[in-house]
Amino acid sequence: MRDTIYSYHQLYAFALSVFLKMGCSNEDASLATSVLLSADLRGIDSHGIARLVGYVRLWEAGRINATPNIKIVHETPSTAVVDGDKGLGLVVAPKAMQIAIEKAKLVGTGWVSVKNSNHFGIAGYHAMMALSQDMIGMAMTNASALVAPTFSAEKMLGTNPIAVAVPAGNEAPFVADFATTTAANGKLEIAQRNNESIPTGWAQDAEGNASNDAAILKKGGALLPLGSEKELGSHKGYALGSIVDIFSGVLSGASFGPWAPPFPAYVPMPDNMPGEGLGHFLGAMRIDAFRPAQDFKSNMDIWLNRFRNAKPIKGHDQVYVAGDIERNMEGERMKNGIPLVEEVVNDLSQLANKFALKL
Amino acid sequence: MRDTIYSYHQLYAFALSVFLKMGCSNEDASLATSVLLSADLRGIDSHGIARLVGYVRLWEAGRINATPNIKIVHETPSTAVVDGDKGLGLVVAPKAMQIAIEKAKLVGTGWVSVKNSNHFGIAGYHAMMALSQDMIGMAMTNASALVAPTFSAEKMLGTNPIAVAVPAGNEAPFVADFATTTAANGKLEIAQRNNESIPTGWAQDAEGNASNDAAILKKGGALLPLGSEKELGSHKGYALGSIVDIFSGVLSGASFGPWAPPFPAYVPMPDNMPGEGLGHFLGAMRIDAFRPAQDFKSNMDIWLNRFRNAKPIKGHDQVYVAGDIERNMEGERMKNGIPLVEEVVNDLSQLANKFALKL
């Protein structure tokens, strides 16, 4: 089945209309749309418009509040905890990131932990908000438990991504944005769709044995932390996922670990949740709180140029810096459009019917 | 060859004497000794007293200044850059961490980037300084280039560790401390000593092919980032190592990437270094800058207890939390002593002769 190509502006207009139909304000709907579609542009298809129907179902189930009262509930000059009031993470997170940026302007850095939120799209969007301010941006979020710690048969952590964006001078910036697992769940979904097996190291079965079955999560299996197995450092990926969970969940008063709320609306909420909703952690560091921004940026240019020109191994044309591949994709898709697979097109058609919209 | 067992106090007295012979002040010598030996206690043998002779050689080569004037060269309420004045990283880093802690007391968080320093021992020591203050501690450092980025034939990054320490209530704290590579260089050294091969995924040869040769780094090979290969997420480990290098090196004005200064004194300093010495990055976040410390700590107890009681996979007794194994080792070695291999004992004997000390 061939993909259907849509322009960015077509999909933007459609997603915007859906968020407006949910009752979001104009400002929130356009912010949510920009965050959501930044994933499609950057080639992270699992976190883009493919999830729109999921957000709608959470809203229908009363788990997402389209008109949240997002507020600071605790703060110091460099920190805040934000209560997202069950809002779309796509709206709560960039607003929390803006608070981090404002604090960084005043005292050098700003750090905001968020509770009572929902899925926030790609972490990279929020981290990149810092770039135009000559700041380093950071973003992370916890998520429902799909990942087994080293030696664990139980799923205890989400894929808990970390994003860090660093400005540069003439070179394109450094933008890392990655799940703390060997592979993101989206990659297993693609393998399932194509009836393919998955590489050893991505997942384990219910007993903890290595599995090549792309559908193993439906059979009690789990994703593996970055590193895959103990001998190859999976305890490090497990530690990273834990740090994200603690900074996003425990520090804010959100739920955490195996109690993080699920994304699919048909999955019941966990019993005895120790906190409120999903959690995020956002940070901004003003470059000139450390050294003159021009000095830093000219050194970053040296760094980026040296890494981009490292000698590649045989069979590869070049060494990439974090964010390079996504930036290339963004240019390509803005120009040539965004391909959507049949299931996603069907989901969007159903949304169009539901809300009397044209796709 | 059997290891020789020394008590913590024997090794403490010896290392203290060596640092005093180098001309360190009493205060600095005892701080350096505590940091150094925390590695031996926690079972990270590659970063403990085995490195003492290396620090002495760097001092003899004029690359370590035993009486540094460690000072803040730039600051805001929540940030500082510290110039280590070529001091022992074992002294510079805990002093910089103390500055981060003091800033966190005043404005919620403190973030210190350090230049012109040297190897700082285990990252975990510095991060753990925050625990008794009801703060989360973070520490990272760059290091001389042993690691090839994904698809790179060149070594561009150090093993660049990250440590994060999180206080708890009744449960033992969370203490992550890990290299951003699949395996630390110390593990290759142990395999070489025992004439053993290394697992696939730890290292590549000069052409970028997977290698099982524990001595491959001497033959133009490189360590691999956490994840081992692209399909298993090595670009994520590469991104993590890059973040550590940027926060520690570029943000402070230290050297970075392939220009980071080498630890062995016989290796010449790189040409055209873009900054001064080695860099570190230290952070402290006051828990009650986010929420009441008691609330956080009781939630951390729930977190830690749940993870420690996760169902283990077959063949394993329990699931560990980051820092558990090192904490057990610390108790064991404080009680039963620290085993040293023959080469290390020989190195210490030579130091004893050089400085007319008794081991």
Residues B188 and B110 in one domain: no
Share the mean pLDDT of chain B.
97
Given B149, B232, B239, which is nearest A176 (Cβ)? B239
Strand partners, A5: A339
What is the C-alpha separation between A87 and A70, in angstroms, rounded? 8
Residues B193 and B286 in one domain: no
What SS3 state is found at B280?
Answer: strand
- The pLDDT score that the predictor gives to residue B190 is 85
Residues B189 and B263 in one domain: no
At A26, which helix (H) or strand (E)?
A: helix A26-41
Question: A337 near A4, Cβ under 8 Å?
Answer: no
Residues A192 and A232 in one domain: no
Percent of chain B with pLDDT over 70: 100
Q: How many CB atoms lie within 10 A of CB B330?
A: 17
Range(s) of the domain holding residue A98:
4-182+224-292+326-355
User: Residues of B196-234 as b/e, b for ≥16 C-beta within 10 angstroms?
Assistant: eebbebbbbbeebeebebbebbeeebbbbbbbbbeebbb
Residues A196 and A232 in one domain: no
* A321 inside domain: no
- Structure tokens, A222: 């789990």
Question: A221 near A234, Cβ under 8 Å?
Answer: no
Please count the CA atoms within 13 angstroms of the CA of A40 that sit on its side-chain side: 29
What SS3 state is found at A288?
Answer: helix
Question: B148 near B154, Cβ under 8 Å?
Answer: yes
User: DSSP string covering B47-82, please?
Assistant: GTGGGHHHHHHHHHTT-S-SS---EEEEEETTEEEE
At B5, which helix (H) or strand (E)?
A: strand B4-6
* B315 inside domain: no
ipTM: 0.98
Phi/psi for B339 (5° steps) reads -80, 135
* A302 inside domain: no
Say which CATH number the domain at B208 has. Answer: 3.30.60.50
Interface test with chain B among A212, A236, A311, by most B beta carbons within 10 Å: A236
The radius of gyration of chain B from alpha carbons, rounded to an integer in Å, stands at: 20
Interface test with chain A among B73, B198, B290, B297, by most A beta carbons within 10 Å: B290
Residues B176 and B130 in one domain: yes
In tens, the pLDDT along B22-59 reads 999 999 999 999 999 999 999 999 999 999 999 999 99
**From A138, which residue of chain B is nearest by alpha-carbon distance?**
B243
Strand partners, B5: B339
- B25's CB contacts (< 8 A; 6+ apart) are B67
- Structure tokens, A120: 């926030």
- B237 vs A contacts (CB less than 8 Å): 226
**From B207, which residue of chain A is nearest by alpha-carbon distance?**
A313
- Structure tokens, A325: 């591949």
Q: What single DSSP character describes residue B284?
A: E
- B179 vs A contacts (CB less than 8 Å): 236
* A316 inside domain: no
Q: How many CB atoms lie within 10 A of CB B107?
A: 22
Q: What single DSSP character describes residue A223?
A: E
Residues B217 and B230 in one domain: no
What is the C-alpha separation between A99 and A104, in angstroms, rounded? 9
What is the C-alpha separation between A41 and A330, in angstroms, rounded? 5
- The pLDDT score that the predictor gives to residue B1 is 62
Residues A118 and A211 in one domain: no
Residues A218 and A110 in one domain: no
Given B166, B182, B322, which is nearest A233 (Cβ)? B182
Q: How far apart are the first and last CA of chain A?
A: 20
Given A107, A232, A320, which is nearest B107 (Cβ)? A107
Q: Is the pLDDT of residue B161 over 80?
A: yes
- B62's CB contacts (< 8 A; 6+ apart) are none
Q: Edge to edge, what strands does the sheet with B203-204 contain?
A: B210-211, B203-204, B222-223
Q: Please work out, in degrees rounded to the nearest 5, the angle formed at the alpha carbon of residue B336 by the alpha carbons of B333 and B342.
A: 80
What is the C-alpha separation between A158 and A164, in angstroms, rounded? 19
* A174 inside domain: yes
Q: Is the pLDDT of residue B275 over 90?
A: yes
Burial class (CB in 10 A: 0-12, 13-18, 19+), B54: middle
In tens, the pLDDT along B176-212 reads 999 999 998 888 988 998 899 999 999 999 999 999 9
Question: B115 near B84, Cβ under 8 Å?
Answer: yes
Q: How many CB atoms lie within 10 A of CB A147?
A: 29
- The pLDDT score that the predictor gives to residue A296 is 98
- Torsion region of A84: left, alpha or beta (phi above 0 gives left; psi -120 to 50 gives alpha): alpha
* B82 inside domain: yes
Nearest to B105 by CA among B130, B128, B124: B130
Say which CATH number the domain at B264 has. Answer: 3.30.1370.60
Domain-terminating residue out of A171, A206, A223: A223
For the entire predicted model, the pTM comes to: 0.98
What is the C-alpha separation between B32 and B14, in angstroms, rounded? 12
Question: In the structure, what pLDDT confidence band is assigned to residue B219 with cuts at 50, 70 and 90?
Answer: very high
Q: Is the pLDDT of residue B262 over 70?
A: yes
Q: What residue ranges of chain A have pLDDT lower than 50?
A: none
Q: How far is A112 from chain B (nearest CA, A)?
A: 8
What is the C-alpha separation between A324 and A130, in angstroms, rounded? 18
CA distances from B177 to A160, A245, B98, B198, B329 (A): 18, 17, 19, 22, 15
Domain-terminating residue out of B197, B223, B249: B223
What is the C-alpha separation between B275 and B113, in angstroms, rounded? 13
Residues A187 and A177 in one domain: no
What is the C-alpha separation between B45 and B176, in angstroms, rounded? 17
Number of domains chain B is built from: 2
* A246 inside domain: yes
Residues A31 and A160 in one domain: yes
- The pLDDT score that the predictor gives to residue A119 is 97
Residues B166 and B249 in one domain: yes
- A291 vs B contacts (CB less than 8 Å): 74, 81, 251-253
- The pLDDT score that the predictor gives to residue A1 is 62
What is the C-alpha separation between A113 and A2, in angstroms, rounded? 42
* B300 inside domain: no
Asked if A182's CB is within 8 angstroms of B257's CB, the reply is no
